[in-house]
Amino acid sequence: MSVPQLSLFVRAFFETGLVDGNRQELLDFVCRHYRTDQQENISVGSLKGKYYKIDTGTKRSVGRMMKKMLAHIEGAGKNY
């Protein structure tokens, strides 16, 4: 997962109310506790910039990830 993809997931969780609290504190937390395959350390400035500037390719890729997750959830129990 790339930093733009991670930022869109964070934004989706925050803006849909699945994660509440202070947005800046959430971004700080994510930067302290997460990394991507391409970036070991994520700066708050980078994550925040990508949080507000979302390109079409990122929307598509995150949408595919969410569809894959939904399919997995809908099939949960069948393989367990």
Distance CA 28, CA 74 (A): 32
Structure tokens at 29: 């937390």
Residue boundaries of the structural domains of the chain: 3-74
Task: Going residue by residue through the chain, which has 80 residues, state the pLDDT in tens, using 9 for 90 and above.
Answer: 999 999 999 999 999 999 999 999 999 999 999 988 888 899 999 999 999 999 999 999 999 999 999 999 998 867 55
- pTM for the full predicted model: 0.85
| Paired tokens of 46 | 């980078």
